[in-house]
Amino acid sequence: MPTDLDTLAREQLSRVLRDHPDPVALDPAEDLVQTYGITSLNKVLFLTSLCKAAEVGLDKFTEDDLAGMRTLGNVVDALRPHVARKG
């Protein structure tokens, strides 16, 4: 993977947000819906693109896992163990 997971997640989130903010400016603790206005469709697009870029299958996550991904930090924390397993 060319960049660390946090950077990759920020880049992918920035791409789906309407105003395409600087990825560095995205706060991992902020709520994706309340702060960034992410829609359900954009969340799916974000998670799909991030999982593809990180080479982690979406099949690793349950519906509850996905519902719990409310912040960028939650998303990174959920993906990290699956990226680490790849070695």
Q: pLDDT (tens digit, 9 = 90+) per residue, 19-43?
A: 999 999 999 999 999 999 999 999 9
Task: For the chain, give every domain's residue range.
Answer: 5-85
In the CATH scheme, what is the code of domain 5-85? 1.10.1200.10
Query: Tokens 């991030």, residue?
Result: 50
Q: What is the pTM of this model?
A: 0.89
- Rounded CA-CA distance 13/18 in Å is 10
Cβ atoms 38, 17 nearer than 8 A: yes
Q: What is the mean pLDDT of residues 48-69?
A: 94
